[in-house]
């Protein structure tokens, strides 16, 4: 059998895809958390009377700056429940956790292929179980708007982490 067409590549391709999804979700999650932090920070500052009483705001420029901060905070307070950042963060965290479980299962199969020096029926059954988990993930999480630039960046990272020559191909 041609080593490039060996059935074991299905396992390795799914493993790399799971890793890609993890890297992609991690970056999206960090971005959402950063946005949420700054919204919360601005809301906290604008709500604090001790900050409002600082000498910094007593001159003309400071007064305008404080009014602008208040305006931004009012806008963010209205926008926050509409954007639902907290729910998005929670959802992405759950999906990320499930993808990490899938990656773990596929990594385990990868290690067993190397240790057994073969890709036998028991490993194929484990792979099918991992595919069932992937199916559940697809039902739970399908993103309509994929950030292609971020995806390409994550693909490069995964390719560096898991180059094709890092995988064991059993002899038949």
Percentage of the chain modeled with pLDDT above 90: 62
pLDDT class for 145, splitting at 50, 70, 90? Answer: confident
pLDDT at 5: 84
Query: 121 in a domain, yes or no?
Result: yes
Q: Is residue 48 over pLDDT 70?
A: no
Q: For residue 45, tell me if it sits in a domain.
A: yes
Res 65: pLDDT: 72
**Residue 80 maps to a domain:** yes
* Residue whose token pair is 């705001």: 57
Q: Is the pLDDT of residue 47 over 80?
A: no
Question: Is 171 inside any structural domain?
Answer: no
Q: Tens digits of per-residue pLDDT, 12-44?
A: 999 999 999 999 999 999 999 999 999 888 888
Q: Is residue 172 part of a domain?
A: no
In a domain, residue 126? The reply is yes
Question: pTM here?
Answer: 0.82
Per-residue model confidence (pLDDT) at position 153: 97
The contacts of residue 47 (CB under 8 Å, 6+ apart) are: 73
Contacts of 84 (CB under 8 A, 6+ apart): none
Parent domain of 150: 3-166
Q: Picking from 97-111, 119-133, 138-152, which range would have the lowest pLDDT averaged per residue?
A: 138-152
How many domains does the chain contain in total? 1
């Amino acid at each position: 059998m041609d080593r490039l067409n060996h059935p074991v590549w299905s396992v390795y391709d799914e493993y790399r895809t799971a890793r890609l999804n993890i890297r992609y979700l991690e970056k999206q999650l960090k971005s959402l958390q950063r946005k949420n932090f700054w919204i919360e920070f601005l809301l906290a500052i604008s709500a604090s009377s001790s900050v409002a009483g600082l000498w910094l705001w007593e001159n003309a420029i400071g007064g305008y700056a404080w009014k602008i901060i208040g305006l931004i905070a009012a806008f963010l307070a209205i926008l926050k429940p509409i954007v639902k950042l907290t729910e998005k963060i929670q959802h992405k965290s759950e999906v990320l956790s499930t993808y990490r479980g899938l990656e773990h299962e596929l990594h385990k199969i990868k290690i067993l292929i190397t240790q057994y020096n073969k890709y036998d029926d028991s490993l194929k059954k484990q792979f099918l179980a991992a595919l069932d988990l992937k199916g559940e993930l697809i039902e739970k999480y399908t993103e309509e708007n994929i950030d292609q630039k971020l995806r390409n960046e994550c693909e490069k990272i995964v390719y560096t982490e898991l180059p094709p020559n890092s995988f064991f191909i059993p002899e038949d």
